[in-house]
Amino acid sequence: MSQPQLDSVRSMYDERSEQYDENKVHVRQARDYLDWAQVKEGESVLDLACGTGLVALGAKDVVGPSGYVVGVDISEGMLNVARRKAEAAGVEVLFTNHDISDLSGLEILPKGSIGFDVITCAAALILLDDPLQAVRNWSTLLRPGGRVVTDVQTKDANLVMNIFAAIAPGVGETVPWHAHRWQSQAALEQLMVDAGLTVQTVFETGTYATTHYDRAAAPDLFDQAVGKSMFKNFGREPMREKAKALFVDKFTHLAGPTGAIDEECRYWIVVATSPL
Ligand SMILES: C[S@@+](CC[C@H](N)C(=O)[O-])C[C@H]1O[C@@H](n2cnc3c(N)ncnc32)[C@H](O)[C@@H]1O
């Protein structure tokens, strides 16, 4: 990932860090990760793009004192929230700042082991420029037979993000998420195969949240979105009014004759293992 893009992701999440855990979808998804990854007592877990530690701290509860958990993220704001939570819970998890696209040089392997039992990367694959290169890199940190669990949102699961991605070129803006790449569950499965891993399971989750949007509320939806760190660039003058018009047009087009859209937040999940 280019440095400006990394900086933009970092500042987006630094700004959001203190409110991040208010998003109950992320909290629930992180809990589900422990089941999908089948984390067990005594295991070692590397949680990539760990954010505020939702998966990492949940994993530490399961692996217990004999287990080992590391969280890696690019946002110091998110990491600080995670560290604070670990301290309050009195548990030891190493939270470290690094770009997860390339972990070479990072000395994090469990002592006396050649790799982690489990690698998780929740709600972040979409932010990586070259996910194949990243997963290949991650797999060098897995023990033979170790598991990788990751996800992308289903293609219609995030209306606002999708609209901003679609209108970005029209206002000379870029977005750091690559939704266009993740239009099917098969794409996620193929990523693992191309990275030399064996897919154990790939599936679509149930619905984590449903949101109803009306055409009449589209201008307000734009205003609310640009008030958040993720979309604030679109709220800058002089492009703001053009961006808003494009946003409303795109919304209207997607809503069709009913003028309404029901968004269902779901994820495609893949669990894959490294060769024995
Ligand atoms: C939506 S949050 C997910 C956080 C956490 N995994 C969870 O499920 O709650 C995305 C996280 O990815 C991190 N991130 C994005 N790109 C990254 C990169 N290249 N290297 C490290 N962290 C990255 C962000 O800083 C942010 O904390």
Would you say 244 and 112 are in contact if contact means Cβ atoms under 8 Å apart?
A: no
Would you say 100 and 122 are in contact if contact means Cβ atoms under 8 Å apart?
A: no
- Report if residue 224 sits inside a domain: no
- Report if residue 223 sits inside a domain: no
| Ligand 1 close to Cβ of residue 39 (< 6 A) | no
pLDDT at 4: 78
| Ligand 1 close to Cβ of residue 191 (< 6 A) | no
Q: If we measure between CA atoms, which residue out of 91, 100, 107, 110 comes closest to residue 43?
A: 110
- Report if residue 63 sits inside a domain: yes
Residues above pLDDT 90, as percent of the chain: 91
Would you say 57 and 91 are in contact if contact means Cβ atoms under 8 Å apart?
A: yes
Q: Is the previous residue joined to 238 through a cis bond, with omega within 30 degrees of 0? A: yes
End-to-end CA distance of the chain: 31
For 62-97, write each residue's pLDDT tens digit: 999 999 999 999 999 999 999 999 999 999 999 999
pLDDT at 5: 83
pLDDT level of residue 191 (50, 70, 90 thresholds): very high
**How close is the Cα of 61 to the center of ligand 1, in Å?**
21
**Which CATH number goes with the domain that contains 199?**
3.40.50.150
Q: b/e for 24-53, b at 16 or more Cβ within 10 A?
A: eebeebbebbbebbebeeebbbbbbbbbbb
CB neighbour class for 237 (10 Å; exposed up to 12, middle 13-18, buried from 19)? exposed
Q: b/e for 61-76, b at 16 or more Cβ within 10 A?
A: ebbeeebbbbbbbbbe
Say if residue 8's pLDDT is above 80.
Answer: yes
Q: Which of 75, 85, 177 for a ligand 1 pocket mutation test, highest count of atoms within 8 Å of Cβ?
A: 75
For 113-144, write each residue's pLDDT tens digit: 999 999 999 999 999 999 999 999 999 999 99
- Report if residue 248 sits inside a domain: no
Would you say 139 and 195 are in contact if contact means Cβ atoms under 8 Å apart?
A: yes
| Ligand 1 close to Cβ of residue 1 (< 6 A) | yes
- Report if residue 239 sits inside a domain: no
| Ligand 1 close to Cβ of residue 30 (< 6 A) | yes
Element (H, E) at 147: strand 142-153
| Ligand 1 close to Cβ of residue 13 (< 6 A) | yes
| Ligand 1 close to Cβ of residue 73 (< 6 A) | yes
Q: If we measure between CA atoms, which residue out of 75, 61, 67 comes closest to residue 45?
A: 67
- Across the range 219-224, mean pLDDT stands at 96
- Report if residue 77 sits inside a domain: yes
Dist CA 47 CA 259 (whole Å) = 41
For 9-23, write each residue's pLDDT tens digit: 999 999 999 999 999
Q: Which of 127, 149, 150, 265 for a ligand 1 pocket mutation test, highest count of atoms within 8 Å of Cβ?
A: 127
Q: Give the chain's domain count.
A: 1
What six digits make up the tokens of 105? 């040089």
Q: Nearest C-alpha to atom 27 of ligand 1 is from which residue?
A: 51
**Structural domain boundaries, residue 37:** 3-154+176-208+266-273
- Report if residue 226 sits inside a domain: no
Residues above pLDDT 70, as percent of the chain: 100
Q: Nearest C-alpha to atom 25 of ligand 1 is from which residue?
A: 75
Say if residue 2's pLDDT is above 90.
Answer: no
pLDDT at 117: 98
**How close is the Cα of 178 to the center of ligand 1, in Å?**
14
Dist CA 235 CA 164 (whole Å) = 11
What six digits make up the tokens of 204? 């679509």
Q: If we measure between CA atoms, which residue out of 91, 79, 147 comes closest to residue 119?
A: 147
- Report if residue 37 sits inside a domain: yes
Q: Nearest C-alpha to atom 13 of ligand 1 is from which residue?
A: 49
